[in-house]
Chains A and B, each alone.
Chain A
Amino acid sequence: MSKEIFYWQALNQALDAEMSKDDTVFILGEDVGLYGGSYRVTEGLHAKYGDWRVRDTPISEGSFTGLGVGAAMVEMRPIVEIMTINFSLLALDAITNMATKVPFMSSGQFPMPLVIRMPGGVAKQLAAQHSQRLEQTLMNIPGVRIAVPATPQDAWWQTRQAIRSNEAIIILEHELLYFSKGILDKTAPAPPMHRAMIRREGRNLTIISYSRMSLLAEQAATQLADEGIDAEVIDLRSLNPIDWDRCVASVEKTHRLLIVEEDSLFAGAGAEIAATLGERCFYSLDAPISRHAGLDLPTPYNGKLEAASIPTVTSIKQAARALTQTENAK
């Protein structure tokens, strides 16, 4: 049975599905209960599961994320919602110094079935403190798994897989995706949680992206086809681990690689992707790997400047054209 629904609804249904099956699963975060979640993701769950399983917290990110760590050590399955990634900076101690360190430092004595959900990204003029993309910071914490679902289908699959896993997992959502629609087929078998997906097949270049940017990359690729540029689009779906084999196979086929990311260029997620694929695909590449990213700038409030600070369909097309021209000039 497939149905078109909002991204937030897919998350909501995934949470509900797991909570109804396993009563060790509980949610906590700011306004997740009575209010139903800032982006409606937990709507209806408080009424169904009550205070203990859907807990409204004070504004105490450091401590309630740490609470998630403690509860996971004694075999509960906490889902911590941090209202936006910008506030996760206050929870970084729990995420960095505790979530993966406790199982490690105890030589594997403790499970860590902790899920941390949060939206990131540039939305609509929320200004510099509320527009951050911190995936690169989280990627550099050994052992933390990071899923970046871009579609309702992936939101449904990956949320359920994350809840069932015994490792600490961050689900990085995107503020502009909650009210985007897509098909959800609940009967379709789930791929492995961190497998990359080829959204569009092509021969001339590979575009690797994730989260909202992978949707823009797909649109750009469709338009580029009219110009005779045939781009293959890979949605990573995960930033740790990264499905390198699928990326390598694509680059070996197309010989050109464009990475599109919303975070800042300098030391961003794309830097890791470029470095690893540079090592693994060096002899297949017909042109230097190209990264198209957000500017190394805090996000300006002004709407025009904000829009110009991250990739768009138009700018992705330009970057793809430039990359194919590099090859022609060679």
Chain B
Amino acid sequence: MDRSRLLAMLHDMLLARKFEERAAEEYTKGNIAGFLHLYPGEEAVAAGVMHASEPGDYIVSTYREHVHALIRGIEPKRIMAELFGRKDGCSGGMGGSMHLFDRARRFMGGYAIVGETYPVSLGIAYAIAMRELPEAVICFFGDGAVNQGTFHESLNMAALWRLPILFVCENNHYQIGTEIHRHSAVAEVYKRACGYRIPSRRVDGMDVLAVHQAATAALEQIRAGTGPQFLEMETYRFRGHSMADPGNYRPSVEVKAHQQDDPLLVAIEETLPYYPSSEEIQAAGHDVIKQLSDHMNNEGHLDQAGFDSVAKQIDDIIEDAVQFALNSPDPTMQDAWDALYCNRGEEVLI
């Protein structure tokens, strides 16, 4: 893999982490309401998969989708404005955190009823296959979502008709408070797909390189016309299920053990053999979270001043996003009616 790609993935993961932590802060301030499901811990999955995809591919995601949207290229400020429920948000303030949409970027939505992402993906993939296009659908879902009936129904149809879908299970081992061994008879999720003759494998979802390689290979197969592929990404969320959930059903030793495995640390280690210069890190754009700064500092790759300026840079982007959101107006009730009847043309109905 070329280094610019690697640095870009690292950049995206750092941006994602900062964005989500700021969203948490804005939630506690009351600027964001409703259910807010955050992604820290799982960044390597979104980064690896999105970087393996093409702009022509479609993304279908869940309610835990801010980072998929960010890495897909929706501007941070438009996502933040949506979390604030404002008119300039990517869903015009009608959808909120769980329902980000951006048709231009083929970001086909965040869906909040567990198990909806499969049939939607199926439909998009059906259209692609019918039109014989070289595109694919990337369908995200959690480990808890594989016990919904639509999972089995959709996997069967996808395999039966060889539809171009990459199924990506973000296995963070929990369905809210229920650990995977208490919700699934077969806890190796990838094995479920074998029943439908869908090529499937388990990937270390804390390692962005491994994710990227697996997704690239799977998408190559899909584009070759061989039908759907299935990847189980083993990962972990550092926070509770949503901001309403303290997550205290998980033993603290378990949380700590997974934090050792922080995908950001793993990603940083992977960049090391390339010895990026301070300019390259800066060119990557952003952040410097504590772990990175300590590590790079110790290795002598970047001095404190360099880190500080990068840190400031990313903070500025996030700050801009928050200011943009705060300054954006509320949508009006007329906007809501227009959204409901957006597809009603001039036809005479009565």
Seen from chain A, the residues whose Cβ lies within 8 Å of a Cβ on chain B are 30-31, 33-35, 38, 56-63, 86-87, 89-90, 124-130, 297-298, 300-305, 308-309
Q: Can you sample 26 A-B contacts with CB below 8 Å?
A: A30-B178, A31-B176, A34-B178, A34-B182, A59-B115, A59-B145, A59-B147, A59-B175, A59-B183, A60-B147, A61-B148, A90-B113, A125-B33, A125-B85, A127-B96, A127-B98, A130-B35, A297-B336, A298-B340, A301-B34, A301-B93, A301-B99, A302-B85, A302-B93, A302-B94, A305-B330
- Shortest A157–chain B CB gap in Å is 29
| Complex contacts, A62 vs chain B, CB 8 Å | 149
Q: Quick check: B147 and A126 within 8 Å, CB to CB?
A: no
A59 touches B114 (CB 8 A): yes
Instruction: Tell me the complex Cα distance, A99–B144, Å.
Output: 26
Minimum Cβ distance to chain B for residue A240 (Å): 25
Give Cα A130 to B96, complex, Å.
12
Taking the closest CB of chain A, its distance from the CB of B91, in whole angstroms, is: 8
Instruction: Give the residues from 192 to 229 in chain B that come closer than 8 angstroms, CB to CB, to chain A.
Output: none
By a CB distance below 8 angstroms, the chain B residues around A63 are 149
Interface size on B, residues (CB 8 A): 38
Answer whether residue B333 sits at the interface, using C-beta atoms and an 8 A cutoff: yes
- By a CB distance below 8 angstroms, the chain B residues around A60 are 147-149
Known: A128-B94, A129-B113, A300-B94. A59 touches B177 (CB 8 A): no
Shortest C-beta distance, B62 to chain A (Å), equals: 11
Residue B66 at the A interface, CB < 8 A?
Answer: no
Indicate if B274 sits at the interface (CB-CB under 8 A): no
The answer to whether A297 and B176 have CB atoms under 8 Å apart is no
- A35 & B177 in contact (Cβ 8 Å cutoff): yes
Assuming the A-B contacts A31-B178, A59-B145, A59-B175, are A301 and B95 also in contact, with contact meaning beta carbons closer than 8 angstroms in the complex? yes
Output the nearest chain B residue to A296 by Cβ-Cβ distance. B340
Chain B positions near chain A (C-beta within 8 angstroms): 33-35, 85-86, 91, 93-99, 111-115, 144-145, 147-149, 175-178, 182-184, 249, 330-333, 336-337, 340
A35 touches B144 (CB 8 A): no
Instruction: Tell which of A34, A58, A301, A309 touches B144, judged by Cβ atoms closer than 8 Å.
Output: A58
The answer to whether B183 and A56 have CB atoms under 8 Å apart is: yes
A302 B34 Cβ-Cβ under 8 A: no
Instruction: For B330, list chain A residues within 8 Å (CB).
Output: 302, 304-305
Give the interface centre of A62, A86, A127 by most chain B CB atoms within 10 Å: A127
Contact of A59 among B34, B97, B99, B144 (CB under 8 A): B144
Report the separation of the CA atoms of residues A300 and B89 in the bound assembly, to the nearest whole angstrom: 13
19 new A-B contacts at CB < 8 Å, known A59-B183, A124-B33: A30-B175, A34-B178, A58-B184, A59-B115, A59-B148, A59-B175, A90-B149, A125-B85, A125-B96, A127-B99, A128-B94, A129-B112, A297-B336, A297-B340, A300-B94, A301-B94, A301-B95, A303-B33, A305-B336
B115 to chain A, nearest CB (A): 7
Closest chain A residue to B35, Cβ basis: A126
Which of B34, B35, B97, B112 has the most chain A CB within a 10 Å cutoff?
B34
